[in-house]
Structure formats: C-alpha cells, structure tokens
Structure 1
Amino acid sequence: MRVDHERIIRDGTARLSMASTVAEACQWTVTALAPSTPATISVLLEVHDRLRCIAATGSWQVFSTVPPATGVVGRVHTTGHAAVITDLGADPNRLPVRPDATSEVCVPVPGSTGRPVGVLDLLWSQPADLMAWRDTAERLAERLGARIVALGGPPAETRSEKLLRHAAALAAAGTEQELRHAASTAARDVSTLSTAVLVLPGHHGPQLCAPTTVPDELEARVRATLSAAGPEALARMVDLAHRYGAGYTLGETEQSATDDHAPLARAGVRTLVAVPVNSGGDAGLLLVADARRLRPDPTTVNLLELLAGQAGSALDRLETVARLRERASSDPLTGLRHTGPFGERIAAAAPGRTALLAIDVDGFKTVNDTYGHQAGDRLLVRLARALEGALRQGDELYRTGGDEFVAVIEVNRPDEAVRVAERLTAAARRIGRTISVGVALPHPDEPADHALHRADQALYRVKREGRDGVRLAAA
C-alpha cells in the first residue's frame, strides 16, 4: 500500500493546531500516524527525570516511564539524534515492548531551546520504508514540539507522582541523614512551601534535627527561634500534633498564632503545616512553613501526612537494621564487640603506637565447674564492665573467646601500655577476681596476628609465674 506522507503531515498539523493540552497534542500526533501504518506508535515526554509515555497505540504493554538514557528512546532523547534500526534483535538497548518487532524509527521532539523534550517512537514487525517514515516522523515531531512549547511545555509531574518518587527515595535511604534529607526535600516539593524542619525523638525528649542542606533565611530563623524556645516548647508542639492530628494555617488573613506556635510566628512564619511523625512508638513532628500567606489545601496536607508516615516507617527500618548490625558485631552476653570487628581493628593497627593486651581470667574453669555456667556468665559480665571502666577514652575491649579478652589501645611508649594493663588487673581484683595480661606492640611490617601471638605468649608466661600479673612481650 502506497503511503501518502504529505497527507499525514497535513492531517497531523491540522489536529495539532486544535490541541488545547499537551496530552491532546501527543494523542492527536499518534492518531494522525496510526491509520497509515501498522507500527506501534508512542510519544514519550520528559517529566521530572524520566521519560513518561503520554500517548501510544497498538501493543500489549507500554512502559509508563523509562529511566534516562535507557533503551533506544532514552538514547535518542539524550543525544538529540534520530535512530533508524533495521535489526532490532541485534540492538542491546531495545525495550521489550513488542516481542515481534523487527525495526524501529525514533526521533526527538524538540523544545524551545532545541534540546529534546521527548521522543516520537515507531516499531514495526513487518517491512517498511524506514527512511521515508523517519522523514515524516521528524517533520511531525517538529510540529508537535512547537505545539508543546506554545502550550507551556511538557506536563508537570503530578503531586501523586511526586509522592511516589519521594516515597521511593525514603525507602532507599541508607542512613538517618539521608532519610532526613529525603523527607525535607519531599515535604518542600509536595507542599511548594519553602521550609521543612524535622523534629525527632531523642534521649531527652524531642530534638530539632540538624539541617542537611544550607537553610534558607526563614528556616534559619525558625531553627534559631525553636532552639532558643527550648525542648519544652518543642514538646508542646509535638504533643499538640499527636493529640489532634495534622494542623495547617489558612493564611489569607492575619490571625494570632496559638501560644504553642507563637515562636514560629515571631520567626516570620505566615503559613504552617504541622504533621505528626511516629518512630518506634515515639513522637516526632514535621514542620513545613513559608513566609508567604498561603492556603494549603487538604489534599496537600494529606500528602504530607503520607510522607510523614513513610518517613516514620523508614526510621524504624534504619533503627532495626542498626540493632541487627550491633547484634551481629557484638557478643550477646557481655555486649562487647567480638572476633569479627576485632580482626578488622588489629588489621589497622599502627606499628609502634597500637598496643594489644591479651587478657585471660584466672581460674575461670573452676568457677564453671563448681558453681555452674550461669555463675560463670555472671562473672564474665561483671568483669567486662570492670575492665571497660578501667580503660581510657578511645580504648577498645573485645571478647575473643570463652574467658578471653583483648584490649586495643593507642600509646606513645611500651611502658604506657603496661600501666594500662596494670589498671585492668587492679579493676579485676576490686570485684574479687584476678586476670593475667600479656602486652605486645606490633613492629613495622609485622602482621597484627603475629603481634597478638606474642601478646598471648607473654600472657602464658604470666600464668606460669603464678597468674594475676602483666608481662610485656619481648621485642
């Protein structure tokens, strides 16, 4: 069948001139092409940071969004150069839209600056005059781009789409700082307000989270005002939100702020949305504010509530992961770190500066045999606390075996390490037990495990000489 490409262009141009929305312009472009070809046709436009399918025909499934530079469509959008592919099976970038597709023509849709705002894509499963279709597609894409510019550009991301995107960012946050940044960014983006401040549970009540970016002028004033108001003022705001739910300002008229929110009004806040945040059963708060008098609609507040709920769940997840990591790296009986972290620590030992103190409990087997293992466990816990209390700030204590401990300390001279070891033996005596300690400082180029072996040898010498003492390993 002979294709009248000029008629397609005329028909498409006429339809585009009547389009009142970008979505209509895309759909009428597809409609102008569809009667003349069995190809699968789609128009994808850049929305936020992805290509979104705005209009399409003729396939079992189309991808709603495509990440940047993915597939032929992503390549064409990124480079701005059309692609004509005669053998799709040999193209590793093809998107699996039509399993029977054999060829493809993809052209950029130009924007006002010449940079593509999207692509027009055609897929065939039977022979076609690809070069003729490329010319037609490029001419029609140029007219589509002009109409999109006239209508104000590609469609904006909806608030629901924003919410989904930000929810994914919250779920992917690997640290609390990343999570706080994602939550604040999401709150500002979804609400269109300028400032977002997160208040989370702390050991001594609600705490104002540190900013993750340089704060704007209003946020800086809000933070300074809340810090000056003190934890009791924060606690009242948190209690208010959790007792009655999210609240928001109707900012079209000047009204007096409540006593609880008066500090924010003094800081220059004229519009405020306060949303409760729950984390591990504790109460937090998301404050989203602006210096302008605005009127947040209930839908915006609902979206912020959903974001706050997602942020609370993500915080719980991070805290659970942190607890699991702590358990994985700690001895469950004494709470001390065990052999895994110890191996990493001694591998980083600084020759001449790091001392290894091998510690063994004297007569521990007798305790177990005479009083039972529960008594032995209680002794190990008491001893671990006593040894920790005798160490200096920055010194580290590990449990490496049943009644075996190792302290890793930083020193300037060997005699300093011996003095720390003597403090440990004194601490053991204060709880009615004795320990034997061997001390070694790694030599330059000496593997850390060799230095630990020398500390063990010094410990065994203490044992042979009567226990309850300290020995520095021979150089």
Structure 2
Amino acid sequence: MYEAQTTSVSVSTLDRADPSPTWNDVRVDHQRVIRDVTVRLSMASSAPEACRRTVAALSRHTPATISVLLEAHDRLRCVAATGAWQVFATVPARTGIVGRVYATGVAAVVPDVTVDTDYLPVRPDVTAELCVPVRDPAGRVIGVLDLQWSEPVDLEPWRETAQRLADRLGTRIAALGGPPSESRSEKLLRHAAALSAASTEEGVISAAASAAREVSTLSTAVLLIGDPQGARLGPSPLAGCELETRIRTELAEAGPEALGRMIDRAHRYGAGYTLGETGHPPTEDYRPLTRAGVRTLIAVPVGPPDTGGALLVADERALRPDPTTVSLMELLAGQAWTSLDRLRTLARLREQASSDPLTGLRHTGPFGQRIAAATPGRTALLAIDVDGFKTVNDTYGHQAGDQVLVGLARALEGALRHGDELYRIGGDEFVAVIEVTRPEEAVRIAERLAEAARRTGRTISVGVALPRPGESPDRTLRRADQALYAVKRQGRDGVHLAAA
C-alpha cells in the first residue's frame, strides 16, 4: 500500500524513454502539454501512479515545482511531487494555499507569494504559485494540483491548462477507485495526535478505543484498568454498540478478580489474539467475553500491571487478525499509556502544588480561589486555631507538633459534611468553608469540629462568619479571625459567631 512518506518522484525513473525536459516558458505549447499528460494518464493502473505520471509529464514542459495532494481523512496528503528540496507529506485541510483551494474549490493564482500569508515555502526562490482543485466526475473536490515557479511566468494560460489537467486527473483517479485510502500506519499516527491532545483520562480512553477499532477493523475496544483496590472497566466511549454493552455486562458480573486475571495474563505472557477458527474453546479467563458473543479478540498489555491494564479489541465475527495488526495494537497501547501516565503525573503535581505536604489539606492558593466564589448569606467561613500548640512544640518538639496537626486534620475532616472543605493556611491555623442556610447551622458545624478535636485530646477555638453582601472575602475572613480571638479571650475551646 502506498505510504505518504514516499512523495518525491524521480522523473527520469518514471519515464526513462522520454528525452530530457526541453521547456520554453515564453512559448509553451499548452495543447502539447495536455496531450502528453493525457497519454500518460491512460497508462496509469492506480491513483498514485496517475498522480506521479501527471507530475512527470508536466515537469517536461515547465521548471515549476509540481505536486499533487489528495484528500486523506481530514488532511491533504502529497501523493506525487517533483522539483523541490522538500515537500510537505500532509497538510491540514485549510492550511496553506493548497488547503485553501481544497476547502473552497476555487483556484488560486498568486503572482507574488510574498503577499499571500497562506503560502507554504518549499523552495527559497519561489515567486509565483498556481493551485487548482482536482474534482471527481461528480464535481466533488478530492485534492489539488499545485505549481510553483521561481522564474518569470505567464500564469493565465497555465491556469486554464492546469485546470484541464486537474479535471482529467480527477476523472482518471475516480475510474481507478478514488484517492488512495489511509494506510494503517497513517491512521495510527493520526490517532496518536488525538491521544496526545486528550486532556482527561476519559478522553484518552475514548481516543484509544476509536483508534483500536479503526486500525484493527474490529468493532469494539474495551480498556481494563489495573488498580490495587481491584481491576475495573474504563469508561465507555462508544454509545449504542450492542457488542460492547454485552461485553461490559458480562465483565461487570464477572467482577474485579476476573478482570485482574485478564490483565495479569496480558502482562505475564504478552499480546495474544484469536485465529478466527471454529471448534476451539477459549481459555477460562476469556469465558465472560465468549458469553457476550465475542468470536475474535486481540488482547495487549497497557502500562504496568498494577496501575496500567489491558486493551481488549473484539468482534462478534470470526476473523483472523494478522501479527502486524497485533503489533499496531501494542504500539497504540503504549501511546495510550504514555498519555494516561502524563495526565496522572500532571494531576499529582497539581495536587502537590496546591496541598500542604504535612496534612494533605489544600492550602492558601486554593483557599483564596474558594472564598472568592463564596455566596453571600450561604457560605460560612470557620477560622480554626489549635489551643496551646506552641506549648506542644516547645515541650515535646516539632515532630510531636506535626503529629498533633496531622491527627487534628483527620479528625476535623471526619467531622465535616460531604462537600465542606478544610484548608491549612498557617502553622496551626485552619479554615473550613461550608455551605449553610442559616448562621445557626454554621455554629452547629463549628461545635461539631470542636467536639472532634476534644476526642483527640486537644482543643480548638473557632470563629464563624458569613459574608455580607458586597463584602470582600478577605474582610469576611478577618471577621472570622476576630470571632476566634473572642473565644481565646473567653478561655479557648469554644465557638463564637461574628456579628452579621
């Protein structure tokens, strides 16, 4: 199958019987150009050969840099080219003059490329460019024919000639089955870009499943994720697929241990696949899949077994995957794991950057963002200070003080409701941000925190404040601090509500 990387063409190799090019740009016989290209097009036995013969024949009549680019999924792929030190293997559909012509279907005549911001340089001395759309007999644009000159040229006659040749090329390509389809390696490269760009774990899994289905031509792909607490199924990216629904149902019923055995098998023995032959029972590990109707399966390991998993690519048809397909799935699994690991590393770094390393609580930065979004009358700030903490440090040392802070942090977290948030904003200073309907509710929660602290053998002082309309978060926190110090003055170990 044709690969995009082999885009350059040797004219002498393609048409060895032809004499060396003898062009005269001042007096070009355009009818002869059309005849030469038409004759060579009729000899082509494939779409890529038709493109190469067009470029080779044209190069005998003009010193222009010539290329033919055809559609390939969402890009233009250079199928044939000559006259350039380097050509672009693929170009996004709307990039450059070639992409513009492909997207609009309107030819571009550019006497001075320096004034066209879409120009893509392939030679340092190019001055003029002519690009025309290549259409199939139905009129649909399937690519472009592009010519670039570094010498003076009359573009108008060349525009008509190029368009007539592009029309004949499009007709011949259609007769030969249309533009060459993407190779599997090209598909994998395209999907690798989508994997790298995914910003969530679900996005990576969705992109990996889509790539696995398209590259393997099997109908379903499921990712099993390893976890010390028990293997699990990755999120489903393919809604409405009956086979995937059945697979997920069977695997869910089989439970984490069965998923773990499939992952362990993939990591212990490497990638495996069925031969598409009837009469051969599956190993016990894969019984849930056959109950779901799977007849063809490729299973490859993903990342390390404890945190990685396995990619299962399946079909209810009895097919015969080849070793190359399995190798491509292994490459895909490697790319998927790299993307997943990158996201997990970034999440871990973000958590470390926003968390107190001692207690694990979020600290000043996230707290500032949270109180900035406080709702007046509904968000209460609870300023918390550990009573007598300096004495602990002075008497028993900082290691003992650290143990006190960690124990208190866990106790206070356990006393808060789901959705309430606890922050450490200083040495022995904490702040809880809670959503309430009445000030009395905030006081009750503060008293619950004080009781939780007592159970650890320590006491805390808590000041409570609710934001006033138009009040800055900093001002609300200052009022909560003032209420806290009122508790200190009254003997500590208590709660005080700031005036509304």
Q: Same fold (TM over 0.5)?
A: yes
> Map of 1:402-421 to 2, 5 A cutoff?
402-421=427-446
Identify the residue that residue 392 of structure 2 maps to in structure 1: 367
Q: Deviations over 1:262-315 (max 9, x none)?
A: 222222111111112124753511111111111101100110011112212222
**Matched residues in 2 for 1:94 and 1:364: separation?**
69
Identify the residue that residue 54 of structure 1 maps to in structure 2: 79
- TM-score, structure 2 as length reference: 0.92
Identify the residue that residue 16 of structure 2 maps to in structure 1: none
Tell me the secondary structure at the aligned position of residue 9 of structure 1. helix
**Matched residues in 1 for 2:403 and 2:137: separation?**
76
Counterpart check, 1:448 vs 2:473: yes
Identify the residue that residue 198 of structure 2 maps to in structure 1: 173
Q: Of residues 135, 142, 146 in structure 1, which corresponds to 2:160?
A: 135
Q: Of residues 232, 249, 254 in structure 1, which corresponds to 2:257?
A: 232
Q: Of residues 184, 192, 201 in structure 1, which corresponds to 2:226?
A: 201
Q: Taking every aligned residue pair, what percent have the same amino acid on both sides?
A: 71
- TM-score, structure 1 as length reference: 0.97
**Matched residues in 1 for 2:235 and 2:209: separation?**
11
Q: Of residues 97, 105, 109 in structure 2, which corresponds to 1:72?
A: 97
Contact 1:206 1:283 in 2 (8 A): no
**Matched residues in 1 for 2:330 and 2:498: separation?**
63
Runs of at least 5 residues in structure 2 that lack an aligned partner in the other structure: 1-23
Amino acid in the other structure paired with 1:122: L
Cα distance 1:146–1:355, how it changes in 2: closer, same or farther (>3 A)?
same
**Matched residues in 2 for 1:264 and 1:109: separation?**
47
Amino acid in the other structure paired with 1:375: A
Q: Of residues 108, 124, 127 in structure 2, which corresponds to 1:83?
A: 108
Identify the residue that residue 268 of structure 2 maps to in structure 1: 243
Residue 412 of structure 1 and its aligned partner are, at CA, apart by: 1.6
**Matched residues in 1 for 2:309 and 2:408: separation?**
39
303-312 or 371-380: bigger deviation:
371-380
Identify the residue that residue 362 of structure 2 maps to in structure 1: 337
Counterpart check, 1:105 vs 2:130: yes
Identify the residue that residue 257 of structure 1 maps to in structure 2: 282
Q: Deviations over 1:338-362 (max 9, x none)?
A: 0111111111111111110001112
Tell me the secondary structure at the aligned position of residue 257 of structure 2. helix
112-121 or 68-77: bigger deviation:
112-121
Q: Deviations over 1:349-385 (max 9, x none)?
A: 1111111000111222222223222222221111111
Contact 1:280 1:316 in 2 (8 A): no
Q: Of residues 294, 297, 312 in structure 2, which corresponds to 1:287?
A: 312
Contact 1:279 1:313 in 2 (8 A): no
Contact 1:27 1:56 in 2 (8 A): yes
Counterpart check, 1:15 vs 2:40: yes
**Matched residues in 2 for 1:421 and 1:206: separation?**
40
Counterpart check, 1:44 vs 2:69: yes
Q: Of residues 246, 253, 275 in structure 2, which corresponds to 1:221?
A: 246
Cα distance 1:300–1:378, how it changes in 2: closer, same or farther (>3 A)?
same
461-470 or 333-342: bigger deviation:
461-470
Tell me the secondary structure at the aligned position of residue 52 of structure 1. strand
459-468 or 317-326: bigger deviation:
459-468
417-426 or 177-186: bigger deviation:
417-426
**Matched residues in 2 for 1:387 and 1:279: separation?**
36
> Map of 1:119-198 to 2, 5 A cutoff?
119-198=144-223
Contact 1:425 1:469 in 2 (8 A): yes
**Matched residues in 2 for 1:267 and 1:430: separation?**
53
**Matched residues in 1 for 2:267 and 2:380: separation?**
52
Residue 254 of structure 1 and its aligned partner are, at CA, apart by: 3.9
> Map of 1:429-444 to 2, 5 A cutoff?
429-444=454-469
Tell me the secondary structure at the aligned position of residue 205 of structure 1. coil
Contact 2:378 2:437 in 1 (8 A): yes
Q: Deviations over 1:212-232 (max 9, x none)?
A: 230411111111122222223
Count of aligned residue pairs for this structure pair: 475
Counterpart check, 1:387 vs 2:416: no
Q: Of residues 339, 353, 363 in structure 1, which corresponds to 2:378?
A: 353
Q: Of residues 317, 322, 335 in structure 2, which corresponds to 1:310?
A: 335
Contact 1:45 1:52 in 2 (8 A): yes
Amino acid in the other structure paired with 2:210: T
Residue 328 of structure 1 and its aligned partner are, at CA, apart by: 0.8
Amino acid in the other structure paired with 2:425: T
Q: Deviations over 1:41-91 (max 9, x none)?
A: 111111111111111111121111111110100000000010101111111
Residue 239 of structure 1 and its aligned partner are, at CA, apart by: 2.1
Tell me the secondary structure at the aligned position of residue 174 of structure 1. coil
**Matched residues in 1 for 2:262 and 2:414: separation?**
40
Contact 1:425 1:468 in 2 (8 A): yes
Residue 233 of structure 1 and its aligned partner are, at CA, apart by: 2.3
**Matched residues in 2 for 1:263 and 1:436: separation?**
57
**Matched residues in 2 for 1:391 and 1:75: separation?**
59
Q: Deviations over 1:121-149 (max 9, x none)?
A: 00111111101111110010001001110
Contact 1:51 1:66 in 2 (8 A): yes
Contact 1:359 1:438 in 2 (8 A): yes
**Matched residues in 2 for 1:471 and 1:158: separation?**
71
Contact 1:195 1:219 in 2 (8 A): yes
Amino acid in the other structure paired with 2:498: A
Runs of at least 5 residues in structure 1 that lack an aligned partner in the other structure: none
**Matched residues in 1 for 2:244 and 2:112: separation?**
56
